[in-house]
């Protein structure tokens, strides 16, 4: 639902809600604005470049301008969510203060109903009269105030350092995802211990380095299946799997469908 405001600092483009079905999906697509989805029930899968996140009720996920994203409902427990689309000069700083970024786009919320209640209020304004626009703008700032409060926006040097390490680790994994890469390799590249790397990943992203690496391999598999015509066995090998059956099992568990079905649904190759 379009609810565009005219602010150059924090502009609301649209907001709305989606009661997902088991077949619900969107993308791959690239937007020219920021978008935040707030999951109210069920589960879904979010793919950001070469990464995969499983998102459930009580969490939100960020899509950023100029980045290819894809998301779909978990067929066995499809999600429902609300969203806001925003732009403006103040947005990047607000997103950073809410502890969300391209490296950590998914976060949990302690009281998501407070945020969805604000979105419901915003959806009630059909005509953008000057009065309603002021109310919408006020509601949007209240929404971010709620996000900031729930995320306890902090700027300690330790956390900033942690974010940089995670960003470097994510970049290194992306550059070496087709090879035989281990968590020890990543820790060695950053010159930190494996246990310290584990703590950084758990705090900043919410998963272990091992799980992130596994997710990245499967994300690379999705990219290969969607954008090339190589065989499933070759895709498995390029993603570090020596056994195609183990690859197919892991892929289905993570994506809700086997590799062949994923290719049929999302292939970008001409048919």
Among candidate residues 136, 15, 2, the one with its CA nearest the CA of residue 82: 15
Please give the residue range of the domain that contains residue 244: 157-266
Please indicate, yes or no, whether residues 111 and 238 belong to a single structural domain of this protein.
no
Neighbour-count burial of 100, counting CB atoms closer than 10 A to its CB (0-12 exposed, 13-18 middle, 19+ buried): buried
112 in a domain, yes or no? yes
Name the pairing type of β-strands 80-87 and 34-41.
Answer: antiparallel
CATH number at residue 91: 2.60.120.280
Q: What are the residues facing 46 on neighbouring strands?
A: 53, 71
**Residues 80 and 138 placed together within one structural domain of the fold:** yes
- pLDDT tens-place string over residues 216-266: 888 788 878 877 888 999 988 888 888 899 899 888 887 778 889 888 877
Residues 172 and 254 in one domain: yes
For residues 24-30, give the mean pLDDT: 83
Q: What does the pLDDT read at residue 157?
A: 41
46 upstream amide cis, omega within 30 of 0: no
* Whole-number pLDDT of residue 152: 63
Which residues share a beta bridge with 48?
Answer: 51, 69
C-alpha 71/C-alpha 87 separation (Å) is 21
Query: 151, 145 in Cβ contact below 8 A?
Result: no
Percent of the chain with pLDDT over 70: 91
For the sheet containing 43-48, what is the strand order? 25-30, 68-73, 43-48, 51-56
Q: Is residue 79 part of a domain?
A: yes
Q: Which residue among 123, 151, 179 closes a domain? A: 151
How far apart (Å, rounded) are the C-alpha atoms in residues 97 and 47?
23
Please check whether residues 146 and 47 belong to one and the same domain. Answer: yes
The top-scoring range by mean pLDDT among 4-8, 58-62, 99-103, 256-260 is 58-62
**Mean pLDDT, the chain, as a whole number?**
83
Of 6-20, 56-70, 195-209, 231-245, which gets the smallest average pLDDT?
195-209
Question: Domain count of the chain?
Answer: 2
Look-up of token digits 């703008």: 137
Q: Which of 83-87, 141-145, 196-200, 225-229 is predicted with the least confidence, judged by mean pLDDT? A: 225-229
DSSP H helical segments within the chain, as ranges?
A: 91-97, 112-123, 130-151, 157-175, 183-190, 194-204, 209-227, 232-238, 244-255, 259-266
Taking the alpha carbons of 253, 254, 260, 261 in that order, is the dihedral positive or negative? positive
Rounded CA-CA distance 59/42 in Å is 11
Report whether pLDDT(270) > 70.
no
Q: Residues 93-109: what's their mean pLDDT? A: 81
Q: Is residue 1 part of a domain?
A: no
Please tell me whether residues 45 and 124 are part of one structural domain: yes
Average pLDDT of span 153-170: 60
Q: Is residue 180 very low, low, confident or very high in pLDDT (cuts 50, 70, 90)?
A: confident
Residues with Cβ within 8 Å of residue 132, at least 6 apart in sequence? 125
Look at the alpha carbons of 61, 152, 183, 56 in this order and tell me if their dihedral is positive or negative.
Answer: negative
Cβ contact 125:14 at 8 Å: no
CATH number of the domain residue 247 falls in = 1.10.10.60
- Rounded to an integer, what distance in angstroms lies between the CA atom of residue 115 and that of residue 126? 20
Q: Is 9 helix (H, G, I), strand (E, B) or coil?
A: coil
pLDDT tens for 35-51 read 999 999 999 999 887 67
């Amino acid at each position: 639902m379009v609810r565009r405001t005219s602010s150059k600092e924090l502009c609301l483009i649209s907001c709305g809600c989606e009661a997902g079905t088991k077949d619900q999906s969107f993308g791959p697509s690239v937007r020219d604005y920021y978008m935040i989805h707030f999951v109210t029930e069920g589960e879904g899968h979010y793919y950001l470049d070469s990464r995969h996140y499983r998102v459930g009720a009580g969490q939100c996920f960020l899509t950023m301008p100029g980045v290819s994203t894809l998301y779909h409902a978990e067929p066995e427990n499809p999600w429902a969510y609300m969203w806001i689309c925003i732009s403006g000069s103040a947005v990047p700083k607000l997103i950073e203060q809410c502890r969300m970024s391209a490296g950590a786009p998914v976060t949990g919320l302690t009281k998501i109903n407070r945020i969805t209640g604000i979105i419901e209020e915003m959806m009630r304004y059909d005509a953008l009269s000057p009065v309603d626009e002021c109310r919408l703008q006020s509601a949007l700032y209240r929404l971010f105030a709620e996000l900031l409060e729930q995320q306890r926006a902090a700027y300690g040097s330790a956390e900033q350092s942690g974010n940089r390490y995670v960003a470097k680790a994510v970049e290194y994994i992306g550059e070496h995802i087709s090879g035989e890469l281990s968590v020890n390799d990543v820790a060695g590249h950053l010159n930190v211990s494996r246990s310290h790397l584990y703590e950084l990943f758990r705090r900043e992203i919410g998963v272990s380095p091992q799980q992130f690496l596994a997710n990245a391999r499967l994300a690379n598999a999705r990219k290969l299946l969607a954008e090339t015509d190589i065989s499933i066995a070759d895709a498995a090998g390029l993603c570090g799997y020596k056994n195609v059956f183990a690859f197919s099992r892991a892929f289905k568990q993570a994506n809700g469908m086997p590799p062949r079905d994923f290719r049929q649904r999302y292939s970008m190759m001409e048919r």
